[in-house]
Every structure is written in C-alpha cells, then in structure tokens.
Amino acid sequence: MNIKDYSYIVEIADQASLTAAAERLRITQGALSKYVRRIESELGSPLFYRHGKRFTLTPIGKLYVDRGREIIRQDQLVADGIQKLKANGADAIRLGYGMGFADFILDRLLPAYFANPGVRPVSVRESSSAELIRDTENCDLDVCLAYVDSFRSGLTYVPLSPARPVLVVPDDSELLDTAELKSGYPYPVVADDRWLDEPFIRIATLTRSGATAQAYFDRIGKHPVNRLYVNDVRSALGAVYRGLGNTIVMEPPYLRNSVTCLCLPEGTREEQQMCMVTSKDLDQDESLMHMQKVVRLLYGYIS
C-alpha cells in the first residue's frame, strides 16, 4: 500500500460516497471502485458497508482510515520538511572560497557550471582558507578553493596555481606606463617606489592577503600611504574598482576589466599554493565532478 491508497480510502470515508469521492479526486468512479476492491482483497476484509450509494466504515475500515490519516499527515510533514531544507540549500553543492574570488566564482565558474543542464544547485560561502579547509574536513563544505600550507588525510587536493601578492591598480593608473615586463613574472613589475606614495587600501592582517602585504612591507622596510582600511579582500577590490586607491592581494584567478595586476619586486618570496579541496567521500557525485572539471578548465589545469 502507498500514500495514494490511504488518501483514496480516506476521501471515500469523508464523503460517504464513491461518486462524490471520485469527483473530488478527479478520477473515474470505475477506477476508484477498482482501487477499493484491490485494497480490500489485499487486506482480506471489507473496509466499507455498502448501503446503496452510501459507504460507511467497517471496524477494520475505521482502523485503516484512522491510521491512514496519520500516515498522510506524517508524509506531508516529511515533504514540507524537505522543501524547507531545499529552500535553505540542503540539496546544493556547498562551495567555499576566499573573498578575493567572488568575481571568479560569479562571473566565470558558476555560469560555466550551470551551462550543463541538470546539475545540482550551489550554495556559496566566503571565508578564510583555514576555515574553508576545516569546514571541508568537517563535511560542512563539499568543495573549496583555498591556499594550502599542509595536506590533511581524508581530503583530496588538486593544485591549481601558485599565487603571489600582486598590486591591484585601476586600469588608467600611471603606474602602468612605467611597469616593466620581466621573465618569471606573470604581470608587469612596478618600476620604482612611486606606488608607495599613491593612496593605498589596507586590508586587515587577519586575512591572508593583509598578512602577506604586511610581511612584504616589513621585509622591504617601507610602507604605503594608507587611505582606507578594510576587513576583507572583496571590500578592497571594490574600492580599487571605484578608483579610491591601490591594494595588495594574493593573486586572484580573475578580475574585472576596470583594474589591472602588477607584480611587486621580490614578491615571489610570499608565493603560496592555491588548491581545490574536496572530501574523498564525495568523489563520485556527478555534479561535484562537473564543477571540479570546470575549475580545472578555467585554471588551464592539465592532469
């Protein structure tokens, strides 16, 4: 027996009529009559007394309907609970990334991922690399893009690219006129210390980008002219987009057209490894495998 069986019998009991129940259920009277006969045959006992067109419950029928109502109620509670969980992203791939990756995630990764019909929805979370890896290890995230200092058992790591601190400037910055292309650097290198005299967006040292920038300044013994202090990379990049100054972040995989990256002299000392990290238990999830493939393609990863 299934929920439909119970709901049909309950409706007949409520209407005390096969004809009226069939109308409410939007099926033919003949089909509903066959349902009743089948269920009574399976139970080996009649559920209704027939008084002409009037149907009243037998003792066994009353038990069936009483229990049926509870089963229907519980089934609806389960369905409602599932819908509430889905509304909060329970059926989604849980993706974590640093705040400097928002443009890459929203402008490139997710459009490419959703181009494949039928993939699971995605819920996203921004946090520090340490917290992202911890949450992936604790199964609070399915996949994350994070800077990796060490490798933990139970997690799968896909190295994506080394990342170094870069100076992000508006694309009309005069620093671009004097920056020089050099071997071993992915972007032009600032030619002198004039950038230290320009307005600077300082990121809190609680972030990896902020701490790396502070280490770089301490190493060279020079500091910029701070105009704005922010708590996260996304806010810093937003300020650069709006022409409020320059900032230093760990090299992001993608930035919008209104800004440009420049390399810092001797900035390779602060280079760190970016990885895609997943739980080994999720290696066979088709949607997750598709997302991993998209990330590899966008990074130009060759296995």
Long-range Cβ contact pairs of 297-301 (< 8 A, separation 24 or more): 297/112, 298/104, 298/108, 298/109, 298/112, 298/253, 298/254, 299/160, 299/161, 299/253, 301/158, 301/160
> Picking from 15-24, 120-129, 270-279, 286-295, which range would have the lowest pLDDT averaged per residue?
270-279
Q: How confident is the model at residue 228 (pLDDT cuts 50, 70, 90)?
A: very high
State the pLDDT at residue 86.
65
Average pLDDT, the chain: 89
pLDDT > 90? residue 114: yes
State the pLDDT at residue 269.
67
pLDDT > 90? residue 151: no
As beta bridge partners, residue 189 has 180, 263
State the pLDDT at residue 302.
42
Q: How confident is the model at residue 233 (pLDDT cuts 50, 70, 90)?
A: very high
Q: Are 128 and 272 in contact (CB under 8 A)?
A: no
pLDDT > 60? residue 303: no
In whole angstroms, give the CA distance from residue 237 to residue 95: 21
pLDDT > 80? residue 189: yes
pLDDT > 90? residue 284: no
Per residue in 190-203, pLDDT tens?
A: 988 899 999 999 99
Q: What is the mean pLDDT of residues 57-65?
A: 95
> Picking from 45-54, 79-88, 258-267, which range would have the lowest pLDDT averaged per residue?
79-88
Please tell me the number of Cα atoms within 13 Å of 180 on its side-chain side: 5
